[in-house]
Amino acid sequence: MEYITYDYAIIGAGAAGLNLALCMLEDPFFDDKAIVIFDKDLKNANDRTWCFWEKGAGRWDGVVSHKWGKAVVTDTNTKQYTLSLDPFTYKMIHSDDFYRFAKDKIRASGIIDWVTAEVEQVNIINGAQEIQAQKRYLITRHTFDSRIASKFNHDTSSIKLLQHFKGWVVETDAPAFDPSAFVMMDFSLRWKDTTSFTYVLPFSATKALVEFTLFSPDLIQNEEYDTMLKQYVTEILDIKKYNILASEQGVIPMSDYPFHHQNNDSLTKIGTAGAWVKPSSGYSFKNTERYSLRIIDNIKKGLVPSKNIIRKKYRYYDSVFLNVLYHRNELGPELFTIMYGKNPIEKIFDFLDEQTSLLDDIRIMNTFPKAPFNKAVFRKLVS
Ligand SMILES: Cc1cc2nc3c(=O)[nH]c(=O)nc-3n(C[C@H](O)[C@H](O)[C@H](O)COP(=O)(O)OP(=O)(O)OC[C@H]3O[C@@H](n4cnc5c(N)ncnc54)[C@H](O)[C@@H]3O)c2cc1C
């Protein structure tokens, strides 16, 4: 059998794989390295909308299609909190724009080979990785793998919530949206006894993405998301006439499963498969950028690429919060309203970005009710 040899292989040209590939292209350290990226798909569909917050200009501004400087959170009693995000901006990217941008850079570079094929097996041979992908065989020194381990689906020892949602891009004849502020969480309409809310990204006064979202252990039926969306649009937004231009659906695992335990000297799990999704929020796009840069830094220092990319303090906080949401799912609306209503938004974004001091963390934690969190800590201690 004839093998092609690479220094690095990236399995999956999604958010994580492409981000890592672009970080490699931007660093001259990788100019003389042989790199390959695999994806089973062509990566040209607009299959998701990514949003994230950041201060000032950012590396994706060329593909950002919308930005907002204000966010609205509405509690279960329909009380609204309008938050000025300054110095942050909330930015949105259509995935097809991101894929096109990344693919163009990769193709133009001549440094990274792009292979459209499904990776079927990865084996360790003499400390190197052997990758099999539809009759292609190659050897690589290190593999970055965004396939989610099948063990995750059968694991019963971790907490597993799902962030699941369906959204409609709605267009109206008359002005119905405030394009200067997006709705982060509107808890005025909920699926019974769950952490559920509506998220609205207004593109103009007459067009918005309206998404009904749940953080819960189980999915609901497709028609049930539609019922909730219809109720939100007609009753909460009081829109009588509208067209649905497109829809988006997704499921994001929110779990304390130790995805990163599979990492070793020659393999790093990346993206959702590597625990890059923040378990308590489901956001991962900015983590992807941060963690990719940490990997690059580790490689250049001769360290194991996955060393310290996940910060333990925050994983502990996430696991406690997830434990509360799992066992007291109905508390989510109150907890998120406290989080955004009683803390400066800048501190919350820093906290979710894992950039806060211990004193900041304590201040934020003190705004939450103690009992459910103490019980979660106790459950974790005895489990
Ligand atoms: C609809 C949706 C909306 C989201 N919105 C946000 C958001 O607003 N903000 C945010 O921060 N996060 C968001 N997320 C969460 C997260 O950012 C995304 O899921 C992100 O795409 C995860 O990146 P990833 O690289 O791990 O996975 P993906 O982007 O899904 O990429 C994995 C890639 O691996 C490929 N692949 C899988 N198996 C193989 C194989 N055997 N061989 C070859 N290729 C393979 C797949 O084709 C895919 O291209 C969203 C998720 C979804 C589903």
Q: Which phi and psi (to 5°) does residue 69 adopt?
A: -105, -5
Please name the residues in contact with 6: beta carbons below 8 A apart, sequence gap of 6 or more. Answer: 34, 35, 36, 113, 138, 139, 140, 141
The count of residues in the chain is 383
Q: How confident is the model at residue 1 (pLDDT cuts 50, 70, 90)?
A: low
Check: CATH 3.40.640.10 for 160-254? no
- Nearest ligand 1 atom, CA 48: 1
201, 182 contact by CB (below 8 A): yes
| Residue from 22, 51, 252 to probe ligand 1 pocket by mutation (most atoms less than 8 Å from CB) | 252
**Which tens digits make up the pLDDT trace of 335-368?**
999 999 999 999 999 999 999 999 999 999 999 9
> In the predicted model, is pLDDT for residue 126 greater than 90?
no
**Which tens digits make up the pLDDT trace of 70-120?**
999 999 999 999 999 999 999 999 999 999 999 999 999 999 999 999 999
DSSP 14-60: SHHHHHHHHHHHTSGGGTTS-EEEEESS---S---EEEEEEES--TT
What is the phi-psi region of residue 43: left when phi exceeds 0, alpha when psi lies from -120 to 50, beta otherwise? left
Q: What is the pLDDT of residue 93?
A: 97
Q: Quote the ligand 1 centre to 276 CA distance (angstroms).
A: 11
User: SS3 of 134, please?
Assistant: coil
- Which residues lie with the beta carbon below 6 Å from any ligand 1 atom? 11-17, 38-41, 43, 48-52, 118-119, 146-147, 248, 250, 252, 271-273, 277, 283-285
Q: Stretch 161-168: mean pLDDT, rounded?
A: 97
Read off the pTM.
0.94
**Which tens digits make up the pLDDT trace of 76-88?**
999 999 999 999 9
Q: Locate the domains of the chain by residue range.
A: 4-48+95-155+256-310, 160-254, 313-382
Task: Give a three-class secondary structure readout of 250-265.
Answer: EEEEEECCCHHHHCEC
> In the predicted model, is pLDDT for residue 189 greater than 80?
yes
Q: Quote the ligand 1 centre to 277 CA distance (angstroms).
A: 10
Domain 4-48+95-155+256-310, architecture per CATH:
3-Layer(bba) Sandwich (3.50)
Residues linked to residue 166 through DSSP beta bridges, in sequence order: 212, 249
Average pLDDT of the chain is 95
146, 17 contact by CB (below 8 A): yes
